[in-house]
Structure 1
Amino acid sequence: MTAPASALNGVRIVSPAPRDDWRAVLAADPDATPTQLPEWLDCLRDARGFADASRLYELPDGRRLVLPMAARAPAGIPISEESWPYGWGYGGVLVEGGHGGLTPDDCRVVLADLARRPALRRAVVPAPALGGVWQAAAPPNAVRMPYLTQVLDLEGGFETVWSTRFRSKTRKLVRKAERFELDVRCERGPEAVAGRGLGMFALLYREAVDRWAVQRGQPLAVARRLAAHRDRPGQVAAVAAGLGEHCAIWSATWRGEPVAVKVVLRFGRHSLAWMGARNAALSRETLANYLLQSLAIEDACAAGVRHYNMGESDPGSGVEHAKRVFGAVPVEYQALRFERLPLTRGEQRLRALFGTLSRLNIRRREVGAT
């Protein structure tokens, strides 16, 4: 059973969505996130060569929905249409009147449209708060990908967040980090493009790739090739240039040495801690990550942000724990995919194979060391 085509009766669809309509619906949606801006799609185009496949839905009741979406079609072959591709944050629809007005029927309209599209994969990664509405509308043939994110409620302002949501241990660690007198900078807009944060992120990310390769038992050449394909530094550079004041790059150095970088996106009620990189040893010593996270949260509170999304992590992992100590609450949701070939199943098997090979390499290294 696929998404019923009858859901599209009386619906007018325009693609790509006209930018004027996109901006009008964006302005009428108080729950819009920074990754739903038109400029975000431009960043995907500039950084990775995606094309604009956004869609405007004019519903029979007069309301409008806009689905930001990026397409990949090498040599004219439609490979993917996604809102958004992996690593590019949340997509889903913008709704006139805000997310409270989004109904399962609205989602069925979008899913019915995506189900009939010719690309091998069509996918939507909704805002976590709306995961339940999308799940209720998803047909049985949709491939469901579980995600876990952590969201901090900023209601009451920073003093309330600091005193009632940060754990006491977290407050102590932030104060301890302050005593190191780290050189902390927050760069936005043209300052971010020309500032130190971008270069520091690229440097620390390269170091992290090598560190992760050792931890995972991965051949260094393979890890570096995969990292070059993902090109996280290129993504951050494109976003810093494209989003301007909506993108902040926080960086910390100690005694002239790069320690940590955090990239935070902001629009309206939402901030998203999108990417980060660190020198593992110096970050542990100086507790720089705690300080940068606290400063970014304080900055979001000052700007009137209501929700600070700390990003995805694996359940029970150290990363998840590090986010919970700031008072973030776990939110489970699902990305929805339609596939003409079992791409997701193939990716899962490939990841499992890499995991097995990594464990074997680690065991060989341990045996060799003894």
Structure 2
Amino acid sequence: MAEFGARLRAHRERAGKTRAVLGGLVGRSEEWVKALENGRLLTPRLPMLLRLAEVLDIVDLAELTGDQSLPVASVTRAGHPAVDQVAAAMQRPAVLAGEPAAADVLRGLVDQAWALWHRSTTERTAIAAVLPGLLDDARRSARRLDGADRRRALAELARVYHLAQLYVAHQPYPELVWLAADRAMLAAQDADDPAAIAAAAWYYAHVYRSAGQVDAAEQVLVDAVDLVDPAADGEQRARWGQLQLGLALGHAKAGRSGQAWRAWDAADEAAGRLAGVHSWLMFGPAATAAYAVTLETDLCRPGEAVRRADAADYSALPSHTRRAGHLIEAARAHLLRREEVAAVHLLGRALRESVDTVRHHPYARTAALELSGRRGTVGEDARELALAIDLHG
């Protein structure tokens, strides 16, 4: 017991989190964390151990428990059946022979792929059918076209790598996520396209934040934000606003409340001046409102997070996967308040929006696993949810 408490304290201090913050992020009190660290409470059960590990960026539960190895990703991250084919296309060293697609044709193909991603309730399965071929087409065009057409093809290649990043995210292959983010940024920079670089920065920042590198995430966003002018046109305004939203998410994850809300205010103001929702980035007023729930939750203000979640219009997000992801965040806010009925209801709503999003979301998986042990309706619904997402634990 004392050994577990010492390990927990060491990892908490390494992560720069107070007991109050750690407790808040896993839905417990400061005193509960203190009691664990002092050996006055038994080692938590697996679902709570997984939640602690996720919050503290621990890769293997053995680092906490001292017992046999159990990679956190083996429970919290599920691999998609087609990931090997997508990975092979991403890692192919040479561009395949054949004629390049014209830049306008390539843009149309990439637009179709993004539309497929957003409108499907099984977006990973849907996009896996077209992504390997699209990667080959985009790489071929970016290599073989010349001049302005080559730069346009490079910008489209960056968008294809963004899709690849989304596809491989939350699977037990972090190296593929880094590869997709890096290749997207290189393509955007080679295109010398400020708007493409801004989008690449948004997606690269997600990778840094997921790895606990909040400062690196902030830097990549700051480097890109001056490249776009929110006063120029709607497209640049959307890219600028999304960068501000990325800054807000990083500040909240680091516990910097004032900076987080200043950046969010800038993003929300930019979103309010758009004519509608961005066609593939999905940036707009509904998105900023939904991300405000994440900010409040990461800042350990679950009451405010629930209030914002209750006011959010998720139906205004024209994307099944985005709606599902934000509903999971709303469930996270409710579970921090131990409102388990609301949490399992929201997870069920998320599942109806997108099976793939829930199946591959680490928090949704750990929450379903934890709630499956409850008695009554909550446990029954959570066990049905766990069955639907092929969760075994």
Question: Which structure shows the bigger proportion of residues in helix conformation?
Answer: 2
TM-score by shorter chain over 0.5: no
Question: Which structure shows the bigger proportion of residues in strand conformation?
Answer: 1
Higher relative contact order (CA 8 A, sep 6+): 1
